Amino acid sequence: MTSTERLLDLADALDEAQVPFLVMGGHAVRYYGLERNTADFDFHLSLAVAKALPERLTRTRLFRRGMLREETTWRGGDFRRFQIGTLPNGREEWMEFWFRNHMRQLKPAPQAPRGSNRSWLQPLTA
């Protein structure tokens, strides 16, 4: 099975679990034609589904009997990490779910000019 086929299987499982997601990381970069060697699958999720994630995943056809082992992370409030298998070469296969943007720090939203009734973008919160 190719990594693209595996990504499609994982996307189907997330859909089945009713978990809205965004593909990020190396697999997202590949979509745009840039080759990037990656050993895991990264997804961005809403904080609203973070707590129930393992229960939702284990109800899917893919993970009902398959491997799904969560590893404690050093940034537990930002992401959760699950081992989902072992590749033919013996390497562990991982799926990571990010809930906060780990690439930048949120900055305060700009203030609207005095007398303006414009809506300004605010950082997304869960």
Cβ–Cβ under 8 Å, residues 81 and 69: no
Enter the pTM of the model: 0.74
Neighbouring residues of 84: CB distance < 8 A, sequence distance ≥ 6: 10, 41, 63, 66, 67, 68, 93, 94, 95
- Residue 104 inside a domain? The answer is no
**Does residue 47 belong to any structural domain of this protein?**
yes
86 domain residue, yes or no: yes
Query: Lowest-pLDDT range, 22-26, 45-49, 76-80?
Result: 76-80
The answer to whether residue 45 is domain-embedded is yes
Q: Is residue 67 part of a domain?
A: yes
Number of domains in the chain: 1
To the nearest 5 percent, what fractions of the chain are helix, strand and coil?
25, 20, 55
Enclosing domain of residue 51: 3-98
- Which of 11-20, 78-87, 109-118 is predicted with the least confidence, judged by mean pLDDT? 109-118
Inside any domain, residue 8 = yes
- Does 43 score more than 90 pLDDT? yes
- Check whether 104 has a pLDDT greater than 70: no
- Looking up residue 32, the CATH number of its domain turns out to be 3.30.460
- Determine, yes or no, domain membership for 103: no
70 in any annotated domain: yes
* For range 92-120, the mean pLDDT: 65
